Chain A
């Protein structure tokens, strides 16, 4: 079939004057069928391997400090933050695999971070064990350094990337940013397209359809 015979409903769709629900009523069975054929009946993650949940690249002390930094970049509290999303497992996984080329610079940056910290606060206490107010005060002095930028970038990736990479545990990141876990959608999509009155042609134009 090359093309369905245009109906009045399709003409209304064409000029944008059909409700969104109308569009979906016309098209939904084919969309759902296509999605099922593609093996994506639900969201990708339903069929995914379990995410890594052990450290393979960073040691426990490194991971504790990175986790503490990440959790100040996106803090927990009333809603979950980076720690709840298990961002540190994403970072560990990333640096051990697809971002392995960044690992040497990351380790060097972490060492500098610690040297600076020891010079200011003494060498006896790791960053992860410091009181939060002190952690925040220290981060304010280093938040333009490449190491902080790297942790920040990885934290955002770990928060929002697919859970199979180790972070975004239990969809915490998507929930935080308001993204629902579905693979396909139907209109209305948001607040402003619910009551769209339809496309009104401009004077002198004659929109036409097949």
Chain B
């Protein structure tokens, strides 16, 4: 069915900026409620066959991600330093296609646990960090986690982990078939008295919602799924939004400023179309779902005379408290081939170390999984003691199928000076002022990551690994989990949005994506972002019905 199209001169009910994990859900929910909706997406719309298996293109040439050549960013560790333009890769990486980062994610779908929402009051303040409670609880989000699992499609085994938070329904699909890495991880962890369990994944394990099960191609992380088994917005909620006849998805439409009137209301969005021609789309309300990097950038680039520090930024919190998910792990070699290039990326995880334990002497918690990487990227590095060239290096390359990763995924503390703002000089190819990232790990994040490396080594040793290469814990210079930069809160003086995702400062401007998160969670944020989107859309629809937007 051809998608509905609107003219820029028409005033639609909602413009949604971004078509990813949250934008797609927002579009479906608002359109199904009867609203006219346009989804603006910076990148192109790719057909299934265009999501190919080309690791060079995807991982080394920014095939479907923001390209550091055309969309540059700068980076510095300390606010006193001058930020330098990043070369080769950007600090903040996201997918720039319809479907956003839900197109290229690994599809690990972990719910937050109850503790994630209340750590501020449970653990008290941590020097150098802003660890605060969320304005909502797990109980408030639980129905929406369930909605994600059933509406978008998640496979897993409910109740398998003794550490799982309570849930109202099981997963709609059984777990994916286990891989050798999952078997070894499970073997090692069980020997240590830990509780590994089948990984919840946003990948079909059976035919579900008119989409086939996983083809086990082995290329989830970074890649789009051409068989549509991965539950990416582009294959799930976006077609459903379009099927209402009220939603237009407008690809290659780069929103660079939110239009405002003198009354302090958003009037629509200024954007560059696919010919890089400037356009303006009228709308009654704007919902920004552009990700934790692009959302604050858009607000800061939308400063007005009455909001000179950036739109919706009376708190000064826009762009601040940037979090990734710090973690540490180990690579391990086994006696026989695992063939980790086959099968979905992750099949077993554990959450025994999820909670922060003050007895460790530092804040931090997380999960572990068994996972793999593509050969092209793997072959670039060698473990200490392995020759970097010659016969010994060749022998190492020949061992590719014998390796796996045991990866820890953990917390990053919210630090006020870790932030996204606008570089004073750097501009992108469209002439839009570029993102400047300032980021320095909190000391506890480093300690926790090193602690995770030790646990990963233990698990791989217990699994019978012949060689273990502990991961190196370095300074964070960027990431793909872009969290916390427009945090939600009840107090307009210290947060950007309220608990319903409405900006405190602009009544008809809503934000929903990783930027909304108050704490980082433990590594796999997408299901939470999607649950937040279902919840926010619920409330936005209620406000619209009550004429309160």
Does B161 make an interface contact (CB < 8 A)? yes
A191: B residues at CB distance < 8 A: 180, 334, 336-338
Does B158 make an interface contact (CB < 8 A)? yes
> Contact between A38 and B173 (Cβ–Cβ < 8 Å)?
no
Instruction: Choose, from A9-17, A50-58, A108-116, A123-131, the stretch at the interface.
Output: A9-17
* B376 nearest in chain A by CB position: A160
- Complex CA gap A209/B184 in Å reads 24
- Complex CA gap A128/B499 in Å reads 67
Does B135 make an interface contact (CB < 8 A)? no
- List 10 A-B pairs, minimum CB-CB distance, nearest first: A14-B174, A190-B180, A191-B336, A34-B212, A184-B215, A192-B180, A39-B49, A177-B400, A34-B227, A185-B342
Q: What are the interface flags for A165-206 relative to B under an 8 Å C-beta threshold, 1 for contact and 0 otherwise?
A: 100000000101111000111110111110010010110111
Give the contacts of B190-235 with A (CB-CB under 8 A): 195, 197-198, 205-218, 226-229
* A177 nearest in chain B by CB position: B400
Q: What are the interface flags for A115-140 relative to B under an 8 Å C-beta threshold, 1 for contact and 0 otherwise?
A: 00000000000000000000010010
- Complex CA gap A37/B49 in Å reads 9
Known: A38-B227, A74-B397, A189-B339. A44 touches B376 (CB 8 A): no
A1: B residues at CB distance < 8 A: 207, 210
> Contact between B160 and A152 (Cβ–Cβ < 8 Å)?
no
A141: B residues at CB distance < 8 A: none
Please list 26 pairs of residues, one from A and one from B, whose beta carbons are closer than 8 Å in the complex, sorted by A's number.
A10-B206, A11-B174, A13-B206, A27-B213, A31-B215, A37-B48, A38-B48, A38-B227, A39-B226, A40-B226, A40-B227, A75-B394, A101-B69, A161-B376, A177-B379, A177-B400, A179-B400, A183-B217, A185-B342, A190-B340, A192-B336, A193-B182, A196-B178, A199-B198, A207-B160, A209-B157
Does A153 make an interface contact (CB < 8 A)? yes
Does A104 make an interface contact (CB < 8 A)? no
- Complex CA gap A159/B337 in Å reads 21
- Complex CA gap A193/B347 in Å reads 11
Does B159 make an interface contact (CB < 8 A)? yes
Q: What are the interface flags for A62-79 relative to B under an 8 Å C-beta threshold, 1 for contact and 0 otherwise?
A: 000000000011110101
Contact of A177 among B49, B170, B184, B375 (CB under 8 A): B375
Q: What are the interface flags for B333-370 relative to A under an 8 Å C-beta threshold, 1 for contact and 0 otherwise?
A: 01011111111000000000000000000000000000
A11 to chain B, nearest CB (A): 8
Contact of B179 among A14, A15, A157, A193 (CB under 8 A): A193
A187: B residues at CB distance < 8 A: 177-179, 216, 343
Does B109 make an interface contact (CB < 8 A)? no
B380: A residues at CB distance < 8 A: 153, 156
Q: What are the interface flags for B384-418 relative to A under an 8 Å C-beta threshold, 1 for contact and 0 otherwise?
A: 00001111011001101100000000000000000
A199: B residues at CB distance < 8 A: 157, 160, 178, 186, 197-198
Q: What are the interface flags for A14-45 relative to B under an 8 Å C-beta threshold, 1 for contact and 0 otherwise?
A: 11100010010011001101110111100110
B55: A residues at CB distance < 8 A: 160-162
Does B61 make an interface contact (CB < 8 A)? yes
Q: What are the interface flags for B16-55 relative to A under an 8 Å C-beta threshold, 1 for contact and 0 otherwise?
A: 0000000000000000000000000000000011001111
Known: A39-B49, A139-B389, A156-B379. A189 touches B216 (CB 8 A): yes
The winner among B184, B226, B391 for most chain A CB atoms within 10 A is B226
A83 to chain B, nearest CB (A): 12
Query: What is the number of contacts between chain A and chain B, taking CB atoms within 8 Å?
Result: 227
Known: A192-B336, A209-B157. A202 touches B162 (CB 8 A): yes
B contacts with A, residue count (CB < 8 A)? 75
Does B123 make an interface contact (CB < 8 A)? no
A contacts with B, residue count (CB < 8 A)? 72
* A33 nearest in chain B by CB position: B212
B residues sitting closer than 8 Å to A (CB atoms) are 48-49, 52-56, 60-61, 69, 157-162, 169-175, 177-180, 182-184, 186, 195, 197-198, 205-218, 226-229, 334, 336-343, 375-376, 379-380, 388-391, 393-394, 397-398, 400-401
Does A3 make an interface contact (CB < 8 A)? yes
Known: A10-B206, A177-B397. A35 touches B215 (CB 8 A): yes
* A47 nearest in chain B by CB position: B49
- Complex CA gap A186/B184 in Å reads 19
> Contact between B337 and A143 (Cβ–Cβ < 8 Å)?
no
Contact of A143 among B56, B175, B389, B394 (CB under 8 A): B389
> Contact between A162 and B56 (Cβ–Cβ < 8 Å)?
yes
B217: A residues at CB distance < 8 A: 183-185
> Contact between A210 and B171 (Cβ–Cβ < 8 Å)?
yes
B229: A residues at CB distance < 8 A: 34
> Contact between B389 and A16 (Cβ–Cβ < 8 Å)?
no
A85 to chain B, nearest CB (A): 11
Known: A16-B178, A40-B49, A74-B394. A193 touches B183 (CB 8 A): yes
* B184 nearest in chain A by CB position: A192
- Complex CA gap A206/B164 in Å reads 12
B341: A residues at CB distance < 8 A: 179
A196: B residues at CB distance < 8 A: 178, 183
Known: A1-B210, A187-B177. A34 touches B56 (CB 8 A): no
B228: A residues at CB distance < 8 A: 34, 38
Known: A35-B227, A156-B380. A205 touches B159 (CB 8 A): yes
> Contact between A143 and B172 (Cβ–Cβ < 8 Å)?
no
> Contact between A16 and B213 (Cβ–Cβ < 8 Å)?
no
A183: B residues at CB distance < 8 A: 53, 215, 217
- Complex CA gap A184/B216 in Å reads 6
> Contact between A30 and B213 (Cβ–Cβ < 8 Å)?
yes
> Contact between B207 and A176 (Cβ–Cβ < 8 Å)?
no
- Complex CA gap A206/B61 in Å reads 46
> Known contacts A39-B226, A196-B178, A208-B158; can you find 6 more A-B pairs with CB under 8 A?
A30-B212, A73-B390, A176-B398, A191-B180, A205-B161, A205-B162
A20: B residues at CB distance < 8 A: 177
* B380 nearest in chain A by CB position: A156
Contact of B207 among A30, A75, A152, A201 (CB under 8 A): A30
A177: B residues at CB distance < 8 A: 375, 379, 397-398, 400-401
> Contact between B183 and A192 (Cβ–Cβ < 8 Å)?
yes
